[in-house]
Amino acid sequence: MELFDEGLHSGVNLALNVEKVIYREKTDLQDLVIFENNQFGRVMSLDGAVQTTENDEFIYHEMFVHVPLLAHGKVRRVLVIGGGDGGAARQLMKHKNVMVTLVDIDRTVIELSKKYMPSISGGAFDDPRLELVIADGCKFVKESDARWDVIIIDSTDPHGPGEVLYTEEFYRDCKSCLSEGGIIITQNGVPFVQESELRESYDRLGRLFKDVTFYLAAIPSYVGGVMAYGWATDETGHRRADLARLAQRYIDAEIETDYYTPEVHQAAFALPLHIQKMLTREL
Ligand code: AG3
């Protein structure tokens, strides 16, 4: 049987059985493959790195979306940069009063995800509360004078087209698109194998925001241990939202989840010591 061999991190490769290749295309921007695996269902890879899978995407996307929305409590407008598979958008649509702008550079990712992995977006792209923009996210935030309560940076890892989405300049432009008390969330990789990425984001975001940290979730298809989401805001109260308040917001939001609970939300911010030490270590 053919093997998909992800060599994203040096010295460790993720091998997945390819039951069947569903689609393969080298777009102008990225090398895209969709294949079937017996544990993960359909898997989408871009430039050789697993982006999302049918069976574990709920963990990644629920934690990306419900943590900032319920921590903030009054979110109306959300900007997603990347996220062309529609997984974050689907979770956002669960929140009744939320309007979403999704900016992805690659239309092909959206079309193929809708066609071959429809459960991931679950119709979110057809929802009138979602505005889709095909554009370079960097340029978009530089030029926009609109404001959002939460900005979700659902990017690839910092290689290739996604690299610019990890620069201080981009974070600064995002900040200028945040409403007061707004929150930026980033996909920040797997700390055990991507320590320098974590450290760099911590420095860059730390220069711009009062409250910068990470929260964690284990995503089975992202090899190497728990994954870190970056958290950046000037409103220090959001992170301190107590359990009773989160639980009430969760009930009031009437959202159905399979991973997120208010307890998991709080616990995700507890950083193991080795990760805390990464943040203070010189690189
Ligand atoms: N965002 C996350 C990509 C992470 C890839 N890293 C890895 N394979 N270790 C992709 C888009 C999901 N909506």
- Cα gap 218→77, rounded to integer Å: 27
Q: Are 30 and 107 in contact (CB under 8 A)?
A: no
pLDDT at 162: 86
Three-state secondary-structure class, residue 256: coil
Residue with tokens 């805390």: 276
Q: pLDDT category, 30, cuts 50, 70, 90? A: confident
Instruction: Tell me the CA–centroid distance for residue 155 and ligand 1, in Å.
Output: 7
- For the record, the structure tokens of 260 come out as 């997120």
Q: Whose CA is nearest to atom 8 of ligand 1?
A: 50
Identify the structural domains of the chain with CATH numbers, from first to last: 2-53 (2.30.140.10), 57-278 (3.40.50.150)
Nearest to 141 by CA among 164, 110, 115: 164
CB contact set of 279 (below 8 Å; sequence gap of 6+):
198, 199, 202
| Closest atom, ligand 1, to C-alpha of 88 | 13
pTM: predicted TM-score of the whole model, two decimal places: 0.97
Three-state secondary-structure class, residue 242: coil
Q: In the chain, what percentage of residues exceed pLDDT 90? A: 94
| Phi, psi at 199, each rounded to 5° | -60, -45
pLDDT of 178-219, one tens digit each? Answer: 999 999 999 999 999 999 999 999 999 999 999 999 999 999
Geometric angle at alpha carbon 250, from 248 and 253, rounded to 5°: 105
What is the helix (H) or strand (E) element at residue 228, kind and residue range? strand 226-233
pLDDT of 5-25, one tens digit each? Answer: 998 999 999 999 999 999 999
* Helix 195-206 and helix 168-175, axial crossing angle in degrees, nearest 10: 50
Q: Are 46 and 113 in contact (CB under 8 A)?
A: no
| Mean pLDDT of all residues in 26-40 | 92
Residue 228 pairs with which residues in a beta bridge?
Answer: 216
Task: Enumerate the active-site residues.
Answer: 154
Q: Which of 4, 32, 187 should be mutated for ligand 1, with most atoms under 8 A from CB?
A: 187
pLDDT at 72: 98
pLDDT at 85: 98
pLDDT at 266: 97
Q: Is 11 left (phi over 0), alpha (psi -120 to 50) or beta?
A: left
CB contact set of 204 (below 8 Å; sequence gap of 6+):
166, 167, 168, 171
* Longest CA span, the chain: 53
Pocket of ligand 1 (CB under 6 A): 8, 49-52, 83, 85, 87-88, 154, 156-157, 187, 190, 222
Q: Whose CA is nearest to atom 9 of ligand 1?
A: 222
- Cα gap 31→27, rounded to integer Å: 6
Pairing state between β 130-134 and 99-104: parallel
| Closest atom, ligand 1, to C-alpha of 49 | 8
Which DSSP category does 51 fall into?
Answer: E
The alpha-helical segments, DSSP class H, found in the chain are 57-72, 87-93, 107-116, 118-121, 137-143, 168-175, 195-206, 243-253, 262-268, 273-280
Sheet architecture: strand order including 31-37: 20-26, 31-37, 41-46, 49-53
pLDDT at 1: 77
